[in-house]
């Protein structure tokens, strides 16, 4: 049924795009065990022999007949300089009869397929591979076997690793990810549920999938900052340039754009629209660079590919491309920004020794997943506004910088270090980082989770329940990103204890995490009161990797004596005093903790009162703009 639905969708897309149906040569490739894989072969008219791009897919090779070929070719195969071979994986679709008991050896199958292509009359013996996600992962597996005629590989949004942290990041199952993979036929649930703790199964799996030293051909990796494989790719790229065959270490390159993983809806690698944002100058950059790469290695064209810097990275915010030789970038250092009880995030170490903020997490009413690096087809994917649906819930704490007076350049991994406690034996802490626009939109940049029983590690001996009320460290590192937070924007941290269904809901009871071996079940859930500490004895902070950050790039004016507010906290009447710095032209703006303007008024004397009777209890910031700087004071309305 899924096959027919997929083909129907492709036919509709084909009609919309004006494509005609491609008619390939159909053949089969004999494997070592005598079983055969189904392949479609697309040869441009008039090409006797030519270079070949191999695509190995578990998603039905016939889709390409209807949806068109990649790299901008579509249905116009005669415009291509390459022959395309599309093969169904063993056990899938046309190759279903080749299935056998146990896990297929994709390395051996890839080797046989490459060498079969090299022996055909239409092949000139130069073979590259291309494909995204699972189609990218199998390229690494093929390269691992070192087929003599494999010339280069081009995996998109994929790494070869099979790691505990990919499926159980900081000990918490990626619910929607596993559900989607199961829906695609990978059947991972049973194996994962048998090993929710890092044991010898994971040690073995991670070891056999760690093989950069086996890669002996150039690799051009293409990924996206909104993809769930971003960190896997960055990590493996760094391994390639240090551990792969010496002859190719300097030939590997990586392209990271402002892209999602793709797989459903219109957003994909190379499209303009990504979630609620658009990146026109990133459109099809993946295809143009991939073709330059293939032309260099498969067609021997001197197109200066060897002069292209190793890393091509998209700097979001500024929306420009960087070309860099190495990572991390020169000039990037980490800076701490402390969380304050008033909802501000700044570089001032807390003064109070008592401040903390609590919220209630109910597993039956979890904070919802709105965008981000998701995979399940019914979820939004990419950057989406978190203001309504996440930040406006009572189970979310929001910490924002003041308005930026200059651009803030962020390149690397954000680290969130929290001092926390809970009323229960176990709970989760989920963090989301957003870019807050001047109009109040809070666009998701990255997110991550920590299951507290795994705070000391992921093996059985490292698991430890919480003592209710005791303060613990909660350290969460987010995936790599590149963004410039523009002047007039803010950076924001949202803390909750769920992000569902992206991550499994913690039942807070300290018992079995996945009762009935279900990736999404609730059995005897308990509500928890979770606390974030933000004081001088237990300071929580965000560590930002910033480029060329200095005192000249500030969040707020350093002139804190321009005006004062009192009392703080305040019930009904807030008093303002400007002293001798009063300026009758000042316009004051009052913002709530979400950065939304709730009041605007003129300063009419050097001392006056504001009536706050109509305001809800919470954290507020009052300020005005003068001489290029924001003068800001914050207070708590009781």
Q: Would the pTM count as exceeding 0.75?
A: yes
Q: Which domain holds residue 570?
A: 564-637
Is residue 373, in this structure, part of any structural domain at all?
A: yes
Q: Are residues 449 and 585 in the same domain?
A: no
Is 209 part of a structural domain of the chain?
no
Q: 547, 576, 601: which is the final residue of a domain? A: 547
Regarding whether 590 and 441 lie in a shared domain, the answer is: no
Q: Are residues 505 and 416 in the same domain?
A: yes
Q: Are 489 and 536 in a shared domain?
A: yes
Residue 585 counted as domain residue: yes
DSSP 201: H
**CATH number, residue 619:** 2.60.40.10
48-98: pLDDT as tens digits: 999 999 999 999 999 999 999 999 999 999 999 999 999 999 999 999 999
Q: How are beta strands 332-339 and 541-547 bridged, if at all?
A: antiparallel
Domain boundary among 122, 155, 188: 155
| CATH code where residue 528 lies | 2.60.120.260
Q: What pLDDT score was predicted for residue 244? A: 98
Does a structural domain hold residue 609?
yes
CA distance 189 to 179: 8
Are residues 143 and 217 in contact, defined by beta-carbon separation less than 8 angstroms? yes
- The confidence score (pLDDT) of residue 626 equals 66
Residues 542 and 614 in one domain: no
Dmax over CA atoms of the chain, in Å, equals 91
- Domain contains 112: yes
Cis peptide before 501 (omega within 30 of 0): yes
**180 occurs within a structural domain:** no
Domain count, the chain: 3
- Residue 175 falls inside a structural domain: no
- Residue 82's domain is classified under what CATH number? 3.40.50.1820
- Co-location of 356 and 494 in the same domain: yes
Let me know whether 581 and 445 are in one domain: no
Q: Are residues 487 and 594 located together in one domain of the fold? A: no
Q: Mark whether 91 and 6 lie in a shared domain.
A: yes
Closest CA to 80 of 89, 88, 69: 69
Look at residue 202 and tell me if it is in a domain: no
Do residue 542 and residue 499 come from a single domain? yes
In the prediction, which pLDDT does 576 show? 86
How does pLDDT run across 6-44, given as a tens digit for each residue? Answer: 444 554 544 445 556 899 999 999 999 999 999 999 999
Q: Are 195 and 514 in contact (CB under 8 A)?
A: no
Q: Which of 399, 355, 397, 343 is nearest to 636 (CA)?
A: 343
502 and 420 inside one domain: yes
Q: Which of 494, 517, 547 represents a domain boundary (last residue)?
A: 547
Average pLDDT per consecutive 10 residues, the chain (638 residues; last block may be shorter): 45 51 97 97 96 98 97 96 98 96 95 98 98 98 98 98 98 97 94 98 97 98 98 98 97 98 93 97 98 98 97 97 96 95 93 95 98 96 97 97 93 98 98 96 98 98 98 98 96 98 98 96 96 97 92 44 79 84 78 72 86 85 68 78
- 476 and 579 belong to one structural domain: no
């Amino acid at each position: 049924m899924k096959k027919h639905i997929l083909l129907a969708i492709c036919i509709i897309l084909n009609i919309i795009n004006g494509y005609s149906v491609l008619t390939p040569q159909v053949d089969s490739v004999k494997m070592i065990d005598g079983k055969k894989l189904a392949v479609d072969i697309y040869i441009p008219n008039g090409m006797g022999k030519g270079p070949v791009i191999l695509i190995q897919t578990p998603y039905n090779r016939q889709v390409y007949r209807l949806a068109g070929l990649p790299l901008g070719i579509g249905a116009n195969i005669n415009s291509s300089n390459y022959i395309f071979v599309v093969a169904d994986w063993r056990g899938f679709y046309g190759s279903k009869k080749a299935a056998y008991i146990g896990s297929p050896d994709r390395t051996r199958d890839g080797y046989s397929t490459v060498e079969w292509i090299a022996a055909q009359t239409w092949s000139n013996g130069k073979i590259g591979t291309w494909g995204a996600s699972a189609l990218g992962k199998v390229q690494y597996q093929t390269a691992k076997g070192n087929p003599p005629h494999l010339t280069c590989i081009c995996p998109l949004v994929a790494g070869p690793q099979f790691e505990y942290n990919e499926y159980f990041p900081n000990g918490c199952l990626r619910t929607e990810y596993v559900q989607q993979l199961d829906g695609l036929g990978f059947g991972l649930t049973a194996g994962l549920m048998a090993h929710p703790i890092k044991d010898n199964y994971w040690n073995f799996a991670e070891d056999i999938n760690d093989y950069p030293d086996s890669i002996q051909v150039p690799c051009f990796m293409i990924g996206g900052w909104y993809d769930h494989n971003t960190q896997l790719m960055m990590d493996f790229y760094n391994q390639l340039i240090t551990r792969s065959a010496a002859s190719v270490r300097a030939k590997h390159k990586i392209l990271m754009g402002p892209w999602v993983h793709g797989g459903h809806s219109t957003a994909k690698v190379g499209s303009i629209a990504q979630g609620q944002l658009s990146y026109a100058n990133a459109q099809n950059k993946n295809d143009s660079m991939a073709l330059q790469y293939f032309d260099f290695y498969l067609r021997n064209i001197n197109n200066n590919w060897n002069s292209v810097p190793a890393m091509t990275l998209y700097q979001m915010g500024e929306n420009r491309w960087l070309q860099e030789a190495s990572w991390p970038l020169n000039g990037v250092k980490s800076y701490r920004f402390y969380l304050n009880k008033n909802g501000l995030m700044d570089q001032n170490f807390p003064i109070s020794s008592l401040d903390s903020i609590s919220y209630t997490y109910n597993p039956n009413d979890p904070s919802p997943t709105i965008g981000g690096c998701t995979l399940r087809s019914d979820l939004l994917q990419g950057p989406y506004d978190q203001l309504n649906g996440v930040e406006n819930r009572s189970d979310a704490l929001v910490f924002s910088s003041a308005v930026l007076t200059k651009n803030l350049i962020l390149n690397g991994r954000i680290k969130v270090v929290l001092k926390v406690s809970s009323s229960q034996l176990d709970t989760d802490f989920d963090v989301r980082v957003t870019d807050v626009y001047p109009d109040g939109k809070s666009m998701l940049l990255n997110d991550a989770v920590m299951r507290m029983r795994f705070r000391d590690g992921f093996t059985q001996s490292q698991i430890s329940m919480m003592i209710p009320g005791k303060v613990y460290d909660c350290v969460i590192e987010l995936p790599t990103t590149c963004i410039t937070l523009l002047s007039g924007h803010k950076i924001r941290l949202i803390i909750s204890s769920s992000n569902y269904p992206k991550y499994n809901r913690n039942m807070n009871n300290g018992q079995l995490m996945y009762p009935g071996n279900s990736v999404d079940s609730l059995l005897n859930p308990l509500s928890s009161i979770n606390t974030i500490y933000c004081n001088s004895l237990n300071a929580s902070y965000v560590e930002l990797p910033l480029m060329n950050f200095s005192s000249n790039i500030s969040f707020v004016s350093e002139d804190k004596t321009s005006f004062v507010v009192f009392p703080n906290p305040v019930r009904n009447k807030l008093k303002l005093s400007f002293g001798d710095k009063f300026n009758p032209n000042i316009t004051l703006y009052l913002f709530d903790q979400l950065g939304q303007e709730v009041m605007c008024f003129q300063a009419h004397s050097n001392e006056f009162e504001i009536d706050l009777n109509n305001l809800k209890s919470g954290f507020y910031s009052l300020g005005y703009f003068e001489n290029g700087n924001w003068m800001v004071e914050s207070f708590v309305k009781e």
